[in-house]
Structure 1
Amino acid sequence: MADAAALAKPAISTFERYLSIWVTLCIVVGIALGAAVPSLFEGIAKAEVAKVNLPVAALVWLMIIPMLLKIDFGALGQVRQHLRGVGVTLFINWAVKPFSMALLGTLFIGWLFRPLLPADQIDSYIAGLILLAAAPCTAMVFVWSNLCEGEPHYTLSQVALNDIIMVFAFAPLVGLLLGVASITVPWDTLLLSVVLYIVVPVIVAQVVRSSILKSGGQPALDALLRRLGPVSLVSLLTTLVLLFGFQGEAILAQPMVIALLAVPILIQVYFNAGLAYWLSKRFGVAWCVAAPAALIGASNFFELAVAAAISLFGLQSGAALATVVGVLVEVPVMLSVVAIVKRTRRWYERPLTA
């Protein structure tokens, strides 16, 4: 048994080494299947509650529960050692990202790309981009943090803090940036997403962790984590197929619009990730916190953004399409950010020169 467990780890490492290839294949397969059998994906898309897709939620559980199993809640107090990392991420998520996206959206969509886009949808596209940037990512952050060997207690604490702030700050912030007096927040979507993507997986993981530690101790937990490792990555790839399958027809029907909307989103992701990473280095944050801090600062809570865009502007609006483009670029781009922070670890850990 021990031999089999030992052999499993190199196989997983090899699989992870070629993750970008599997991601590319899943994107192609998802688009192809979405265009070839749209009825299949329409049926899957209808399996939702408060605009939260249940099959995707189940896949998210399979992605993040193995990662949450690693977290010892008794050690959450350790996050006090990383308060500077928490401060950097809060600054990026709430003081930089929504405003930088409003600026980039206005610059690219409202000016540079205006002649290439439908004139009646320009404002709606910009609104969708703002909605996307105003909600920091929740569940998927555990995936990115795990892939870059981030500090799990910091990640969990930061996600919980962002969720609390989002309940109170999302509506006023979006209202300010959209220039409207009030905004209808899809509270059912927000609260159900937090429950499904955070609360339920945390409870399940801690119940399983406690049971395994009582029955077999740390060796049993380590063996379970090795077995579950491939489950997380396969679930991630399956989620990719679903997300791109849902939009397969739209991608093929409006490739130019989608490509243009992706430009400010890509710049936004790399800018915010880079700024969070640089600020973390300047403030002496440990790399194991700086890496997930960069990823949390750059990623988005696309479920909430899509739901808000649909409820405010309609299913066929430019705002809804802009948030969907955020969904499409999120996973591949965040994987590239994971690769960047891992490859720059030596640079990060070098002392700053005066």
Structure 2
Amino acid sequence: MSFFERYLSVWVALCIIIGVAVGQFFPVIPDTLSQFEYAQVSIPVAILIWLMIYPMMAQIDFSSIVNAGRKPKGLIVTLVVNWLIKPFTMFFFAWLFFRYIFSPFIPGDLATEYIAGAVLLGAAPCTAMVFVWSYLTKGNAGYTLVQVSINNLILIFAYGPIVMLLLRMNNVVVPFDTIFLSIVLFIIIPLAAGYISRVILVKRKGLQWFENVYLKAIGKFTVIGLLLTLIIIFSFQGEVIIENPFHIVLIAIPLIIQTLFIFIIAYFWAKKWRIEHSVAAPAAMIGTSNFFELAVAAAIALFGLHSGATLVTVVGVLVEVPLMLFLVRIANQTRHWFPIENT
């Protein structure tokens, strides 16, 4: 890893502080950016996420997508963890901490909202940011794409029923247009751009130039896009964070426990099955991280901008990025645990 990537957690912390400061001292910036939304998806954030994902998509050798079905173990790990384990453990940890352990500090009605926000967060596996985590762990780009695509198809049909089951609601409305737009922005557009640029540039410049010059050059956009995205997100939510410092600590505890718990299950399951590291690491990352864009949008739509549910989803973003960078480091340092990829 480069010097910049090695201390990425430091840059992340600085960008969070900058984002909160921008929201407090230059509110005209988030106010202006918030006008560019469609289906509760921020277009500026979508563009930056696109910049993060495109370098990953450009790496994809599309024959690897065809061959992904020959390695079903990675898909089994991510699908079982994402849909049969993760939503329910998130509900359990949220219920345990907010309803009982932290009950002296959190009123009952607010605990209900916090549990709802945690469920909205935990029921949606990562769609966009996982490409960043996969890139940082040298994951198989084609296989990561297959994993994310299948999870997105399941997400369309399973998110609403799982949320309704866990919260015992009869009238939960999942913003389908938000899901659909996110899939188009975060997968289809960068995938098409990556495919077209790869075909054209390999044809004109050759594969060696494309891999050794072009991919190294555009790889910098992944980290830059991540940091700029954090500045924008926290410029939107800075006031909420400043007004609830103690509750943010309380909310962060079960979210951190949940994240580590899911990573341990997925990563060690992949190790037990002797799955190649380039498949195992992204498989664990997809389940460990969350589709926070959808969670925040759903919380706002269902409970309101200043609700406890929305606060939990925002804290989810605050906790997730530094924690995922920590897990990326663990994954890179334990690469030798896994078999060498067959080429």
Indicate the residue corresponding to 2:141 in structure 1. Answer: 152
Deviation per residue, 1:175-212 (Å, 9 max, x gap): 10111234211011111111111111111111111111
**SS at 2:290's partner residue?**
coil
State the partner residue of 1:269.
Answer: 259
Q: Does 1:198 align with 2:187?
A: yes
Please give the per-residue CA displacement for 1:234-275, whole angstroms capped at 9, x wherever unaligned: 111111111222221211111111111111111111110111
Q: AA paired with 1:55? A: P
2:326 aligned residue? 336
- Contiguous gaps of at least 5 residues in structure 2: none
Residue in structure 2 matched with residue 43 of structure 1 by the alignment:
32
- Alignment correspondent of 2:232: 242
Bigger mean CA offset, 265-274 vs 16-25? 16-25
Offset, 1:309: 1.3
Alpha-carbon distance in 2 for matches of 1:42, 1:117 = 31
Q: 2:122 aligns with which of 123, 129, 133?
A: 133
Comparing 71-80 and 85-94, the one that deviates more: 71-80
Alignment of 1:95-134 (within 5 A): 95-134=84-123
> 5+ residue gaps in structure 1?
1-11
Deviation, structure 1 residue 119: 3.6
Contact 1:172 1:182 (8 Å CA) reproduced: no
The letter for the 2-side match of 1:42 is D
In structure 1, the residue corresponding to 2:206 is in which secondary structure?
A: helix
Classify the secondary structure of the residue corresponding to 2:126: coil
Deviation at 1:77, TM superposition (A): 2.0
Give the number of aligned pairs: 339
Structure 2 residue aligned with 1:181: 170
Distance 1:316 1:237 in 2: 25
Q: Is the 8 A contact 1:38 1:249 kept in 2?
A: no
Could you report, residue by residue, the CA deviation over 1:128-149 in whole angstroms, capped at 9, with x for unpaired residues? 1001000111111110000011
State the alpha-carbon separation in 1 of the partners of residues 124 and 290 from structure 2: 6
2:57 — aligned with what?
Answer: 68
Q: Percent identity?
A: 48
Q: Secondary structure at the match of 1:114?
A: coil
Q: Which moved more, 1:113-122 or 1:100-109?
A: 113-122
Structure-1-length-normalised TM-score: 0.92
Kept in 1, the 8 Å contact 2:143–2:279? The answer is: yes
Is the contact made by 1:240 and 1:331 (CA closer than 8 Å) also made in structure 2?
no
Q: Is the 8 A contact 1:287 1:349 kept in 2?
A: yes
Corresponding residue for residue 41 of structure 2: 52
Aligned residue for 1:23? 12
Q: Secondary structure at the match of 1:172?
A: helix
Cα deviation for residue 349 of structure 1 reads 5.1
